Each structure stands twice: as C-alpha cells, then as structure tokens.
Amino acid sequence: MINGAAVYVLWLREMKRFIRAKSRIVGALAMPVFFLAFLGMGFNRMAVPGTSAAGSYIQFLVPGIIGMSLLFSSTMAGLSVLWDREFGFLKEIMVAPVSRVSIVVGRIAGGTTTALIQSVLLLAVSFALGFRIFRPTAFLVGLVFMFLIAVTFIGFGLIFASKMRDMQGFGIVMNFVIFPLFFLSGALYPLDNLPGGLRIAGYADPLTYGIDGLRGTLAGVSAFPVGLDLALMAGFAVVMIALGAWFFEKSESV
C-alpha cells in the first residue's frame, strides 16, 4: 500500500535539496551544454552519415544530449540512497510505519522531477544554438518520453545503490555502466553507423528507444515508430520500478 503523505514528504525533501544546491543545477547542465555547443557547432556543417533527415546535426543531437542528461542525473539519483545510509536518515525512514514501496515511489518522484527540470532547462538552452521543435504540441509528448527515461534509470540506479555500501565505488561502477549505455543509444550518431554486434547491443539498450522517441517528437525524425518507442519505454519503466523496489526492500538500512 502506497502512503501518499510519505511520498509527498520524500518528494518535497528532494525538491528543497535541489533548490538550495544552486551548484548542483549548474553542474548538471554544464556537461550537456558543452556537448551541445562543441559537438553541435563543430559538426553542424559536416555531413554526418544518417543524420541528414533531421535537417541539421544540431536537430539530430539535441534529443540525444537531453537523453544523456536524463541518464546521468537519474542514475546518479541512487547516490542519495548511499548518502542517507551513511548519515542515518535511511535507517530512520526504514523504521517508519510506511511501506518501503512508498519510500521508493517518493524517491523516484523526487528524482524524476529534478531530472525533468534539468532537461527542460537544457532544451531552452538548445534554442540559442539553433534547435527548433518539430511542432509546438510535440513538446508535451517529449515530456512523456523524458519522464519515462528518468523513471527507468532512477529505478536502475536504485538497484545498484541497494546492493552497494561505498559511495565512491558507486560512482566508479555507474560510470562504467552509464557510458556504454550512452554511446550505444544512438545519441550522437545513428545506430546504423555501428557494426553489427554493437548495433544489436544498442537495440537492447532502453535509452535507445527513449532518445529515438524524443527525436521523433521533437525533431520529427525517428528510426522506429514513435508508438513503438513509447510502448517499449513504458515497459522498461515498469520493469525498472519493480526491480528497484524489490532490491530496495531486500536491502539493509545500515
């Protein structure tokens, strides 16, 4: 049974931490903006195979960088579990008379909201670099894809955080996992440009369908039908939430 009050309190706690940490907002936007600025301007006048259908490389790149931002910020949300365990807060909420599923939902809600705020800010910055949305109403569908990507990878991060105790080790392991997911997703180049084995691995990457869906809604070009991307991302999100909740329930608070 999900306790709405517990979910709200955990969401509000994450919002307050996010608003108070101005450096966190700047830091989360800095790397994606650098990618957009240097890759977007550097390759915009070059013919990158497979990207011409989008009209320009910046049109192709922006959805991929938004997906990258969501991947990094959502997965690293699992780090807050390790911080709470380190300083005793996790033990306190574990003994509270609420289900652990409510705790997981509250953390996912807070992490998803902060990830969406960062992505919308990044999208706003991309307009200064020449990006244009395919049609105004597409933004709403794009938000749905952003939400699904965030939920999927917050659940993914919770799985690792529930099994680890060392914060530094978590960062190292997650970087080892995150970068292959990013480079196999087609964020920077079409999957068709990869050799056969890597292309198959890319098709198994949930981020592939999130970015392709974003590209289809925001830029009007996608490798797969947008409906298929949406259905697959919804499935990935449900599976990752379920797995994240299960691993979290099995984890120890101390």
pLDDT of amino acid 230: 95
Instruction: Give whole-number Cα distances, 157 to 71, 80, 105, 147, 154, in Å.
Output: 10, 10, 14, 15, 5
Instruction: Give whole-number Cα distances, 203 to 24, 86, 121, 128, 227, in Å.
Output: 32, 37, 29, 32, 16
- Write down the H helix ranges in the chain: 4-20, 22-43, 57-75, 79-87, 89-94, 100-128, 138-163, 167-183, 196-203, 206-214, 226-250
User: Cα–Cα distance between 67 and 63 in angstroms, integer?
Assistant: 6
User: Cα–Cα distance between 8 and 12 in angstroms, integer?
Assistant: 6
Looking at the 3D structure of the chain, how many domains does it have? Answer: 1
Query: Predicted confidence band at 254 (pLDDT cuts at 50, 70, 90)?
Result: very low
Tens digits of residue pLDDT in 27-69: 777 888 888 877 777 666 655 555 655 667 888 889 999 998 8
Residue 73's domain spans which residues? 4-250
Query: Predicted confidence band at 148 (pLDDT cuts at 50, 70, 90)?
Result: very high
pLDDT of amino acid 49: 52
pLDDT of amino acid 11: 82
Query: Predicted confidence band at 235 (pLDDT cuts at 50, 70, 90)?
Result: very high
- Backbone dihedral angles phi then psi of residue 10, each to the nearest 5 degrees: -70, -40
